[in-house]
Structure 1
Amino acid sequence: MRELVDPVDPVVDAAEAAPFPDVEEYRAAVERIRAAAEAYYSGPDLAMDDATYDGLMARVTATEAARPEWKAADSPTEAVGAGGGVVGDITHSEPMLSLDNVFGSDELHKWAARLERILGRPVAGYTVEPKIDGLAIAARYTDGILTLVATRGDGRAGEDVTAQARRAAGLPERLREPVTVEVRGEVFMTDDDFAAAQVMRTGAGEPAFAHPRSAAAGTLRAPKRVYECPLSFFAYSVHGVAEPMAQSAAMAWLAELGVATTAYKLCATVDEVAAAVEEVTATRGTLGYGVDGAVIKADQPADRERAGSSSRAPRWGVAYKFPADTRTTKLLRIEVQVGRTGVITPVAVLEPVQVGGVIVTSATLHNFDDLVRRNVRAGDTVFVRRAGDVIPEVTGAQLDLRPADSVAFEPPTHCPRCGGEIDRSQKRWRCTSGRACGAAESLSYYVARTSMDIEGLGDKILHAVVSAGLVTDPADLYDLDVPTLAALERLGEVSATKLVANIQGSKGQPLSRVLTALGVRMTGRSMSRRLARHFVTMDALLAASVDDLQRVDGVGPERAVTIAAELVELTPLIAKLVERGVNMAEPLETSVAALPLQRADGSPMTVVVTGAVPGLTRDEGNEAVERLGGKSSGSVSKKTDLVVVGDGAGSKATKAEQLGVRILSAERFAALLEAHDADDQDTVAEILGP
């Protein structure tokens, strides 16, 4: 088969997708779609991630619209499940159709407008429900007893999976009423059940599942396994009732019968639908199971009957697809990280890939036992997802693409950071030195001039107190007293007294300095100041959600996730610091005039400091910019408001002149800072001018 390059923008509407330039590429794409669909329905492995699949399907659809003479007789655009379903001999009572996809608010509104044109009037209400990332089935009940369960297959007939489906939670053996109906819905695995299934599968000597969806599909179609993986079921429709029912009424009735159903929201307008989709998007990471979109349906049976269906999809319903939460990329190498408490963790370093709207360059491999179960190696093409829609993780590898010269990863025999022994008694390996492993390094950062600025605590003294077992984390520093320090070699009572005073004096440092000292990953001094100014107190920062963090200037989705995870890990240490009286608040500027580098609307000016500023280090110069209400930047552009130029300034000063950006001498900037600190508003105004 001819090689085909994956689309650059995988999740696109067919109307915007580029057609293939020749018939051979079109046919190659059709073959890839069929193969991927076959692998998906057959489980347990994925042959292609969701976004690539959607992108190929969009381009095939666009090609068939542009060149109808190329269209294959059995095109996947006309088949349910792209023609990849395993077809059995169970004929469905009514065809099990797929749903067309939309990928944004504009496309959603276009779909609703088309539906209204078909109806010739407004839609009489919509339902919005999560789109479960599972396998569609039809379950038949006779007089309230479960008698048959079939997969969707090709939409007309499916495979008998009754025995395996009976153990799915949410699909009862007996209904609460003796009715004869067909219930349709999704079989899936929860996040917890997927983790349990991985242990069962790898414990039986089989390769790890690649993804919860393929795990559910493979489990449902594997009647002779020696282990039984847990499954769940949510219903989304009911058939065979005497009178057609509204979707909302049908879901309520199924719940009364004892069948698990997806939560739904009833909406009157498409704008309400869009808002409901946003709610599903916001909560998808908290559900405990995979959701890859939202399903929108016309609620009333009269609307559905009038709208009708195409050969593969109803016109009265649509799937709003979220950015894919599983992608494939190259695993470049496996590194080992040592946490603050001595926990040793393998981490996958990846070729950058967008997962669920976030660029991911590394992902957790959890622990070394899990690394063996997942069977991934450097050089593999791996599946990456965002667990709980937050933390990136590698779930498995495409073993058929594994390089011939690949070798299994060798776990460390000693702690990579301190060379000490490793405790392997639990799943999470740990350096036997615990928090003392690397303590000197983290303490050195904590006491630095740009952090808590504790003068006199050099590397030799830090090494001495750590070696003596007196200090394992920054909070222990505040328990040191004069007699204890004076007893150390080459540190007398006078020096010890001064050092204790300096340590105790650091308790008054502002929150921004504390955050810098804690070394929260992906922050640094500038970001620590922004976080401190935004949340003001540590309590508010610790209570902030990932969404709250993204409201801080410069904090994107990946950085917000990292900061949130870091703060959770640091919470015990922060509590110890609070107990010892360390300040956890940022002083507030009460006067608007006291912030000279703010614009009229209160937003910060973008300021670049280049060259030396009298009396300030480079870091202190950037800190001064933010103290004056501005935003420090390292590069000059048309969006820069001010460039501070001192001795040794280079190309940045030249570029500022070329772009016509305002320039302020370093001496004038130092005078501005002094006037601001003295609350001399006349001088501040004179320096900045109109």
Structure 2
Amino acid sequence: MQDDLAADGTAAAPIVDPAHARPHATAEEYRSAVAQARRAAAAYYAGEQTLLDDAEYDALYARIVVSEREHPQWRADDSPTAVVGTPGGDIEHSTPMLSIGNVFDTEGLHDWAAKLDKALGRPVTRYTVEPKIDGLAIAVRYVEGRLTLIATRGDGYTGEDVTSQARLIAGLPTRLSAPVTIEIRGEVYMTDADFAMGCDLRLAHGEPVFANPRSAAAGSLRAQRVYDVPLSFMAYAATGLPDEHAHSHSTAIAHLAALGVATTAESSAGLTVCADIDEVTTAVAALGARRGDLGFGIDGVVIKADLAADQAQAGYSTRAPRWGIAHKFPADTRTTTLLRIDVQVGRTGVITPVAVLEPVQVGGVVVTSATLHNFADLQRRDVRAGDTVYVRRAGDVIPEITGAVHDARPADAEPYTPPVTCPRCGGDIDRSNQRWRCARGRACGEKATLLYFTSRDAMDIEGLGEKILDALLAAGHITDAADLYALDVPTLAAMDRLGTVSATNLVNSIAATKARPLSRVLTGLGIRMTGRTLSRRIARHFGTMDAILAAALAEWEQVDGIGTERAAVISAELAEVAPLIAKLAAHGVNMTEPTGPAAATDDTATAGSALPLRRPDGTPMTVVVTGSVPGLTRNQGNEAVEELGGKSSGSVSARTDFVVVGDGAGSKATKAADLGLPILDADKFAQLLTAHRAGDHDTATAILATVTPTPPR
């Protein structure tokens, strides 16, 4: 393996593209790499514990490719460049189940398209773009509409009979909607939810958790167990279709869906038909941006020439079709070393184990820590310091440890011992729920809670810093946020280094925050599973604190971004802090949102002017602000989006209406350019806000008219 380092000394992402890989120095190194690749592939296709993560395998494969290119005399008969999958089985495939070539960036995708155009002697008629499911390829035969055989890919020519496991696979009916004889090909995979359920089932039966969803699906398809692990299927091809359904890939997939089979077109990822390679590039970027929201794992996107005539003319190489290619994404599961397990105590007293990791690039981001969920889960999974662990990061979610490579465990690795008392205050721990919590709850972290309440993004109390809070807590003058509003000048002036003038200024500063909007109060309370953006959304939806406290769970679920689980947590948290809320209100702290609930649904602002960031149907545009906006903090920029009637988002995706780009913009601006999203300069955004507040509709409309799409990069 290449042992490359990033500029900061952390482990760099493995070089997975043969165009950038270096060859092996000797034939012996090459043969060793081939043997390692074959062992890893055997474990991969068998669904056993992963020997190499995807990025490591792709990097190994890339070096084998470039070594064979420069030293063709070295090429081994069992090279992974010549052999697909693993040794076959007893079932001979009707046509070979070949692999598919890979590209790793837009340049590689355009190069492939140019070669395909050259092979055809003309441009490709059109393309399809669909998810590359991270699962196990199978062939499924139906005779007169009845399922008769399921076979694994095997070596591409013969596979293993796994028909007995058909009952486990959702999306693969035992009888089609028409009595046709057909062979369907696709992927057996495990959804994120089913992977979690499968791990729980394994643990309940005394077995180690799965390494990842892909190996879980492959192993479960072959295993005969006393319990059933749920699997899913998605079709991507078929043979034996009638001519009227076989003239293109897109029509073939549509026909399979009509027969009752789950297909890539019906999935949350969808199948996109594109007129040219530029549209393909946009579709690939859009699917990559949604990768973490699909509910199942994909490791790339598959691009195909749509028309059967184009496919037939392009033909095949020895191991892959020339008319199709996979655009691989950065691996979202990697292996690294768990250095130690730390314990964090949150503002609300929740105690969480956190993995400190040897830095590793996962999904294009350097990860140094990851969540271990809770102590019960940590002990069930038997993860220890020193272990080689699987780190998963799908999309923009928080990295998590999904398991450990127990065969690689150091001999001196000790089982983890959870804390017996709260690490912060030394008090008792409430273990009645999966997520442990200090028995003192919020009182355990009163300082952290108060710092958050007084911070710029919450109540923004000027002049009240950490040292003054420490002194107030030590003197017993305050125990919660409401006590701040009871402070007077004599009390503060008697404290060290304050005096009458400073005390008077601080009392006035605290009193001024009583007029802050409800959304700021909600933010300052630090309710679990909320944040600044969601607190604003809640405040604008309900309008008053009384309405919030009286809301039933069903009403909570009407707020954008709040589902059943989050609604229950937020409701319980609010009930817990209700006495504090009452105490704040008694001190005169505002408990209403100035714009009221109408701001979330009406097309007019409080002054009666139209909201610029509303669509004609009244729904809000999704806007991302990146970089600095003149005259506004980052949080105020997001608040401005909502004041203008839009929905502020922290991540760029194909569903983003436009991106506000200011000085210091980083990866979000780059991603917006890659997706070809509309861009608005931050100066113009500030002018838009000013015009809206002045009721100058014409100027606001003219500014929005300058928001134009940028060509994808």
TM range (shorter): 0.7 to 0.9
SS of the residue aligned with 1:543? strand
1:31-64 CA deviation, whole Å, 9 max, x = no partner? 1111111111122411111111111111101100
1:179 maps to 180
Is 1:18–2:22 an aligned residue pair? yes
Aligned to 1:64: 68
| Structure 1 partner of 2:650 | 545
Partner of residue 384, structure 1: 391
Structure 1 match to 2:335: 328
Alpha-carbon distance change, 326 to 455 in structure 1, aligned in 2, over 3 angstroms: closer
- The CA distance in 1 between the partners of 2:328 and 2:272, in whole Å, is 17
Report the equivalent of 2:472. Answer: 461
* 1:414 and 2:414 aligned: no
TM (norm. structure 2) is: 0.70
Q: How many Å apart are 1:551 and its aligned residue?
A: 5.5
CA distance in structure 1 between the aligned counterparts of 2:194 and 2:144, rounded to whole angstroms: 31
Cα shift at 1:461: 2.9
For 2:647 and 2:345, locate their aligned partners in 1 and report how far apart those are by CA, in whole Å.
23
Corresponding residue SS for 1:46: coil
1:104-115 alignment, distance < 5 Å? 104-115=105-116
- Residues 571-598 of structure 1: CA distance to partner in whole angstroms, max 9, x if unpaired? xxxxxxxxxxxxxxx999979xxxxxxx
Report the counterpart of residue 512 of structure 2 in structure 1.
505
Structure 2 CA distance for aligned equivalents of residues 554 and 384 of structure 1: 30
Query: How far 1:71 sits from its partner (Å)?
Result: 0.3
Residues in 1 aligned to 2:280 and 2:690: alpha-carbon distance in whole angstroms: 43
Deviation per CA, 1:78-120: give whole Å up to 9, x if none: 1113xxx252111111100110000011000000111111111
- Comparing 306-315 with 98-107, greater Cα deviation is found at 306-315
Structure 2: which amino acid aligns with 1:208? V
Corresponding residue number in structure 2 for 1:51? 55
Tell me if structure 2 keeps the 8 A contact 1:423–1:430: yes
Counterpart of 1:437 in structure 2 is 444
Q: Using the alignment, how far apart are the partners of 1:190 and 1:164 within structure 2?
A: 17
**Equivalent in the alignment of 2:326:** 319
Distance of aligned partners of 1:414 and 1:464 in 2 relative to their CA distance in 1, 3 Å threshold: same
2:350 equivalent in structure 1: 343
Matched, 1:250 2:259: no
Superposition pairs of residues 348-359 of structure 1, within 5 angstroms: 348-359=355-366
Other structure's SS at 1:80 match? coil
Please give the alpha-carbon distance, in whole angstroms, between the structure 1 residues aligned to 2:391 and 2:227. 26
Q: State the 1:419 CA deviation.
A: 1.2
Between the aligned partners of 2:129 and 2:367, the Cα distance in structure 1 is 30
> Which amino acid is the alignment partner of residue 79 of structure 1?
V
- 1:33 and 1:133 map into 2 onto residues whose CA distance is 18
SS in 2 for 1:334: strand
Contact kept? 2:477, 2:483, Cα under 8 Å: no
Are 2:237 and 1:237 aligned?
yes
Task: Quickly say closer, same or farther: Cα 1:283–1:447, change in 2 above 3 A.
Answer: closer
> In structure 2, do the counterparts of structure 1 residues 257 and 338 end up closer, same or farther at CA, with 3 Å as the change threshold?
same
User: Residue 172 and residue 479 in structure 1: after superposition, are their counterparts in 2 closer, same or farther (change >3 A)?
Assistant: farther
Counterpart in the other structure of 1:282: 289
Deviation at 1:327, TM superposition (A): 1.1
- Of the three residues 74, 78, 102, the one matched with 1:74 is 78
C-alpha distance in structure 1 between counterparts of 2:163 and 2:689, whole Å: 68
Alpha-carbon distance change, 148 to 455 in structure 1, aligned in 2, over 3 angstroms? closer
Is the aligned partner of 1:308 residue 2:315? yes
SS in structure 2 opposite 1:198? helix
- Partner SS, residue 176 of structure 1: coil
Find the counterpart in structure 1 of residue 694 from structure 2: none
Please name the residue that 2:34 is paired with.
30
What is the Cα deviation at residue 143 of structure 1?
A: 0.7
Which residue of structure 2 aligns with residue 267 of structure 1?
274
Match of 1:215 in 2: 216
Q: Which residue number in structure 2 is paired with residue 672 of structure 1?
A: none
Identify the range of structure 1 (447-456 vs 396-405) with the bigger mean alpha-carbon deviation.
447-456
- Cα separation, 1, equivalents of 2:477 and 2:380: 38
Distance 1:335 1:466 in 2: 33
Question: What is the distance in 2 between the residues matched to 1:538 and 1:447?
Answer: 24
Please give the per-residue CA displacement for 1:360-381, whole angstroms capped at 9, x wherever unaligned: 1111111112112332211111
Contact 2:370/2:398, CA 8 A, preserved across alignment: yes
Q: For residues 217-275 of structure 1, what are the alpha-carbon distances to aligned partners after superposition, in whole Å with 9 as ceiling and x for unaligned?
A: 1111102x122111111000011224343100001000100001012111111111111
Q: Which residue of structure 2 aligns with residue 532 of structure 1?
A: 635
Q: CA deviation at 1:16?
A: 2.8
Distance 2:104 2:125 in 1: 23
Unmatched 5+ stretches in structure 2: 5-11, 265-269, 533-627, 671-685, 692-713
In structure 2, do the counterparts of structure 1 residues 515 and 13 end up closer, same or farther at CA, with 3 Å as the change threshold?
farther
Aligned to 2:102: 101
String of CA shifts for 1:160-214, please: whole Å, max 9, x gaps: 1112233211111110000010111011111111111110011111111111111
- Map of 1:196-211 to 2, 5 A cutoff? 196-211=197-212
> Is the partner of 1:138 in helix, strand or coil?
strand
The structural deviation recorded for 1:389 is 4.4
Partners of 2:393 and 2:660 lie apart in 1 by: 18
The residue number in structure 2 matching 1:452 is 461
Rg (Cα) greater in structure: 1
Contact 1:292–1:321 (CA<8 Å) still a contact in 2?
Answer: yes
Matches within 5 A, 1:561-600: none
Gaps of 5+ in 1: 561-585, 592-690
Contact 2:638/2:648 (8 A) holds in 1: no
Contact 1:42 1:86 in 2 (8 A): no
The whole-number CA distance in structure 1 between the counterparts of 2:277 and 2:444 is 57
How far has the Cα of 1:131 moved from its partner?
A: 0.7
| 8 Å Cα contact 2:442/2:449 also seen in 1 | no
Once the 2 structures are TM-superposed, how far is the Cα of residue 465 of structure 1 from its aligned partner?
5.9
Cα gap change, 1:461/1:402 in structure 2, threshold over 3 Å: closer, same or farther? same
Q: Please say if residues 462 and 506 of structure 2, whose CA atoms lie closer than 8 Å, have aligned partners that are also in contact.
A: no
Cα 1:453–1:314 change in 2 (3 A) is same
* Aligned positions of 1:132-151 closer than 5 A: 132-151=133-152
Per-residue CA distance 1:143-170 (angstroms, 9 max, x = gap): 1111110110100011111122332111
Whether 2:300 is the aligned partner of 1:293: answer: yes
1:252-309 per-position Cα deviation (integer Å, ceiling 9, x unaligned): 0001000010121111111111111011111111111001110001111111111111
Task: Return the letter of the residue paired with 1:302.
Answer: A
Whole-Å separation in 2 of the counterparts to 1:49 and 1:294: 19
Q: How much does 1:387 deviate? A: 4.0
Comparing 225-234 with 441-450, greater Cα deviation is found at: 441-450
SS at match of 1:35: helix
Q: Secondary structure at the match of 1:382?
A: strand
Inter-partner Cα distance in structure 1 for 2:464 and 2:202: 56
CA distance in 1, matches of 2:439, 2:687: 41
Cα distance in 1 for residues equivalent to 2:157 and 2:469:
76
Farther off after superposition, 408-417 or 157-166: 157-166
CA contact (8 A) 1:546 1:557 kept: no
Q: CA RMSD in A?
A: 4.0
Task: Quote the offset at 1:383 in angstroms.
Answer: 1.2
Q: Is the 8 A contact 1:444 1:459 kept in 2?
A: no
Residues 48, 557 of structure 1: alpha-carbon distance in 2 compared, 3 angstrom cutoff: farther
Contact 2:199–2:210 (CA under 8 A) maintained in structure 1: yes
Which whole-Å CA distance do the structure 1 matches of 2:155 and 2:399 have between them?
A: 34
Amino acid at match of 1:260: A
Cα distance in structure 2, aligned partners of 1:284 and 1:587: 35
